[in-house]
Amino acid sequence: MDIHEAAAAYLRHLAEVRRLSPATVRAYRSDLDGLATACGDIDLVAVDLDKLRDWLWHAVQRGDSRATIARRTAAVRGLFAWATETGAIPADPSLRLVAPKRGKTLPKVATADTLSGVLDRLASAAAEGDPVALRDHAILELLYGAAVRVSELCGLDVDDLDRDRRTARVLGKGSKERVVPFGVPALRAVEAYIVRGRPSLLARRADDVPVPALFLGARGGRIGARAVYDLVSRELGPELGAQVGPHALRHSAATHLLDGGADLRAVQEMLGHASLGTTQIYTHVSSERLAASYRLAHPRA
């Protein structure tokens, strides 16, 4: 089996058996295509540790980030571990391949006051009845109120909402379904959008095909992630002084939950993290805030 065939079979395994997200599979495909190009048309068994190290060294020389190199290392290790398990190769040459440690970068978090100001401004705009303003207000309220990923928000159908219980059924990474709660402000914004905004957007469609999607784009179809990114960047970016996307609202929600005393395991379940370690980064954010407050306020800091 040459390296191209092996990579293709491994990617099918990731998508069909392990059910990794399409974005993860695309990233791994790019990484393994790069490895195949660097090694040439050779059999997988001919790829040794030196070839793998050379490939990563060239990535470092190009100035690739630590996170990118770490992901590429993970992609290669996964490929060779799978190939060893399936008997395609007798031994795994990637076992001693060392990836650089990722830098500890804390996520961008907006304060509760900042978000209240942004959401109040959007609520005022939505009160005038413009369907796009109603939709935009509902999107930001739900992103923050339910701490969902942008892909989960875009994938929501109207029937996924339980407005009596104030919960939403979302499809997360690895096609794992979970139910997340949201608050009264998000419920009010979503209901106003469904009643007064969504029908107007739906009427913009060129056909009469029913659309189950909760949030609709300018032409009446399911809204895309790019449009949501642009919305959040436009409304929240100036407040944080940086270019931010929907994940900033998820980060903020998780941090505010922990600041308010929520249990770490409960936050993990709400966010849909497979590992508690992924959720724990938000305890670092809270700790940084506590340390900053201490240094400013304590007389013996």
The residues assigned a catalytic role are 149, 173, 247, 250, 273, 282
Rounded to whole angstroms, the Cα distance separating 201 from 183 reads: 25
Query: How far apart are alpha carbons 126 and 135 in whole angstroms?
Result: 8
Angle at which helix 112-126 crosses helix 225-240, to 10 degrees, equals 120
Judge contact between 55 and 34, C-beta under 8 A.
yes
- The pair of three-digit structure tokens given for residue 60, joined into one six-digit string: 């470092």
Which residues lie closer than 8 Å to 180 by C-beta, 6 or more apart?
146, 147, 148, 167, 168, 170, 270
Please state, in angstroms and as integers, the Cα–Cα distance from residue 185 to each residue in 189, 201, 217, 256, 267, following that order: 6, 22, 22, 16, 20
Cα–Cα nearest to 80, from 95, 68, 70: 95
Q: Is 173 exposed, middle or buried (0-12, 13-18, 19+ CB in 10 A)?
A: middle
